Amino acid sequence: MPVTRYRDIADMPEPARAASALDGLAAACAASSQSRAFGHTRRAPRGVRRFRSIEDADAHRQRWESAPADANDTKRSRT
């Protein structure tokens, strides 16, 4: 991609802008509904975990990746 240099800001072309803010909102909604169609998303557990070795950390990661997605969800019920 070539680089174009300008001596003055007045020489620069106007940037391309979206037709309207609603176009961006529609794209965001479409992406959101598409991601829900793929199913359950995985969330990493909150916080920082410390391990004694790289092997322990790797074993923990492998267990987490092989567990079903529902088992990793820690949604708190509101009562």
pLDDT, tens only, 9-51: 898 888 777 677 788 888 888 888 877 777 666 677 788 999 9
User: Is residue 69 included in any domain, yes or no?
Assistant: yes
Residue-wise pLDDT tens digits, 48-68: 999 999 999 999 989 988 887
Residue 53 within any structural domain of the chain: yes
CB 31 within 8 A of CB 37: no
At 60 the pLDDT is 92
Which residues span the domain enclosing 55? 46-73
Domain-located, residue 63: yes
Residue 1 resides in a domain: no
Whole-angstrom Cα distance, residue 9 to residue 51? 54
Candidates 50, 46, 49, 43; CA nearest to 72 is 43
Q: Is residue 50 part of a domain?
A: yes
> For residue 11, is it within any domain?
no
pLDDT of residue 40: 64
More confident residue, 8 or 20: 8
Question: Is 66 inside a domain boundary?
Answer: yes
User: ∠ CA(42), CA(64), CA(79), 5° rounding?
Assistant: 55
Question: How many domains does the chain contain in total?
Answer: 1
The pLDDT, as a whole number, for residue 17 is: 73
